[in-house]
Structure 1
């Protein structure tokens, strides 16, 4: 099926094969604009407008789009893109999204059923499946070939867990907040305890944002939730398997009534696909802590730039501060003991 995009300001109208749409509703996103589209003749889609900064780099969007199709071809629940009438997967359009006329990359994607995993109880079996899915995804992405794949190196990418020390340039909004000293301490421990061991980490391509709002689930005939979708490949980068695991644990913790209990089942699911080596195990706690720091610091910084989006930008931050402090108080040894013991026990039940 082909698609044609017609942009109107202030409303956005998406026309599929020149037929009017039944519905076009905005969907919230951290950087981009997403619109749910229901076509009159049937079919559901997501019309995605990339943010202005990412729109300047169509090559990386092309690789991300290809990765989604590659995962789908390999049996994973990722969106695929519908080409325009001229056969393009991505189109550069000039429009006003509230900041004057600018050029934005747009795509029409398939719509995946389900609700975000944040909306359902995170029972151990579902957490296990999340860990297993994240690991499976990275093993599949590692097999992907593309002429521009090197663009995923992304040196200096602030959301990469390889670049945690770069947060030091963004902690100004935390001045006067005791959280700033905790963040500085974690960055210091990252430099002294994680960076020297990085040479022992196994490299891969990371999704980079396997979080509670980017994972969809759907109930099966027994009422058990299964993962039905993986969204948002905008943070893809060359990294390490252990990074994806740390990111997954961190975000799922923000949705659990007892966050520390999340690590065990996710770890068990992950290691059913990719067992960790000793250096990776030793760094997992600090990498989870570092991801909390990235989320908290960059959210605060983003609010200074876009105060009108404060409510959305601070979703994870509001929950994360308390969890970060609790993990820090418990300490590396105690948290690791709980995670790895629970993972071993859970694995025996599978």
Structure 2
């Protein structure tokens, strides 16, 4: 989990753009990033781009990065609003750059992407229609990725990847970062629930490739002609991994809950959109609540751990964890039975409305 975040300057970006892509930046500004560096770049020659510089740890696995990059292009070709990587002057989609960012000389992978205009979904009202569309889009994306082929597809297994919901029990090795925090006891309880209720049911889950991080910073929207907003961009495939359909749904519900005034209701609206494409089976339904709680726990533990390693980046690393605590507590206070009742009844009502419409 130790990732050295790159620290490239604007002058470094100018040099990279000119040397690797024969483009001259006329405007550069930083974009949010968890462990990497992202830059918006407008070029004098025309065009808008995103230059992404990966952290040193992820840069050690170019095969995984190539699979992620290819998956984005595959989805784009199938009508999804994803970015496309652009080749450098040698025709490759990745370049390894050596630089000392304060940790000794490290290798950092550099890629250039098309820029997607839009507003973060967290900045607009999360209407029932937009939540429904988010669930539907997530299900369609995972179903489409069933057809994705790549010679290195096996790298998506990522057995020790801390953000995979399959690896929720791995949080136990890092839970010490919550010493003295009331959350620690609750996180331990959720991990126990995961072991006793999710693991015995996983053989009944339908497997797929997960985007793995459909959070409020990775979905862009634009105003719709008839009012409201529609999804215009899906960003950041860095957490892609082999998982299960229900994992993607749980992750999407968790992050959409963070941006809503009545978060418990959100699950039913996202679920309705999801099931319009891919209905859950009984085992998946029964585990959904614990899987959503598990994603909250991953967010808490990993954020606190990363802050202990990179205290200078605390504000960004804790952005989700800080907002999540009160929503997490609401889920716990309501309990599994009440939350599931809201979710499944809301989803059923939305399905009936769509039939009438």
Residue 329 of structure 1: CA displacement? 1.3
Indicate if the aligned counterparts of 1:211 and 1:251 stay in contact, CA closer than 8 A: yes
Q: Is structure 2 residue 210 aligned with structure 1 residue 195?
A: no
Of 28, 37, 41 in structure 2, the residue corresponding to residue 37 of structure 1 is 41
Q: 2:347 aligns with which of 340, 343, 346?
A: 343
Q: What are the ranges of 5 or more consecutive residues in structure 1 without an aligned counterpart?
A: 1-6
Whether the aligned pair in 2 keeps the contact of 1:10 and 1:97 (CA below 8 Å) is: no
Distance in 2 separating the partners of 1:97 and 1:86:
26
CA 1:242–1:8 in structure 2 vs 1: closer, same or farther (change >3 Å)? closer
Counterpart pick for 1:107 among 100, 107, 111: 111
Decide which of 212, 226, 229 is 1:225's aligned counterpart.
Answer: 229
Paired with 1:296 and 1:19, the residues of 2 have a C-alpha distance of: 41
Distance (whole Å) between structure 2 residues aligned to residue 226 and residue 95 of structure 1: 40
Larger relative helix fraction: 2
Counterpart-to-counterpart distance in 1, 2:344 and 2:218:
26
SS of the aligned residue for 1:221 comes to coil
8 Å CA contact retained: 1:69, 1:80: yes
Q: Cα deviation per residue 1:106-148 (whole Å; 9 max; x = unaligned)? A: 0000001101101111111000000000000000111100000
| TM-score, normalising length: structure 1 | 0.96
Matching residue within 123, 129, 133 for 2:127: 123
Structure 1 residues 260 and 84, CA gap change in structure 2 (3 angstroms): same
1:19-65 CA deviation, whole Å, 9 max, x = no partner? 42111111121111000010112211000001100000100000000
Question: Mean Cα displacement is larger for which, 277-286 or 18-27?
Answer: 18-27
* Aligned partners of 1:10 and 1:96 also within 8 Å: no
| Partner deviation per Cα, 1:227-246 (whole Å, 9 max, x = no partner) | 01110001100000000000
Change (3 A) 1:266 1:304: same
What root-mean-square deviation, in Å, do the aligned CA atoms of Structure 1 and Structure 2 show?
1.3
- Please state whether the residue corresponding to 1:12 is helix, strand or coil: helix
Can you list the C-alpha shifts for 1:170-209, whole angstroms capped at 9, x where unaligned? 1112111111000000100110011000000000000000
Residue segments in structure 2 that go unaligned for 5+ positions in a row: 1-7
Alignment partner, residue 144 of structure 2: 140
Distance 2:9 2:35 in 1: 21
TM-score (norm 2): 0.94
Name the structure 2 match of 1:3.
none
Indicate if the aligned counterparts of 1:9 and 1:96 stay in contact, CA closer than 8 A. no
- 235, 241, 256: which one pairs with 1:252? 256
Per-residue deviation, 1:9:
7.6
Matched with 2:95 is 91
* Aligned match of 2:291: 287
User: Is 1:241 aligned to 2:242, yes or no?
Assistant: no
1:326 equivalent to 2:327? Answer no
Distance 1:333 1:176 in 2: 30
Q: Deviations over 1:243-296 (max 9, x none)?
A: 000000000001111111100110000000000000000000000000000001
State which drifts further: 13-22 or 296-305: 13-22
CA offset at residue 220 of structure 1? 2.2
Match of 1:277 among 274, 281, 284: 281
SS at match of 1:249: helix
Match of 2:3 in 1: none
Q: 1:314 to 1:19 in 2, by over 3 A?
A: closer
Specify the SS of the correspondent of 1:331: helix
| Matching of residue 12 in structure 1 with residue 13 in structure 2 | yes
* Alpha-carbon contact 2:22-2:89 (below 8 Å) kept: no
CA gap of 1:155–1:222, structure 2 versus 1, over 3 A, is same
How far off its partner does 1:311 sit?
Answer: 0.7
Q: CA deviation at 1:17?
A: 4.8
CA contact (8 A) 2:142 2:211 kept: yes
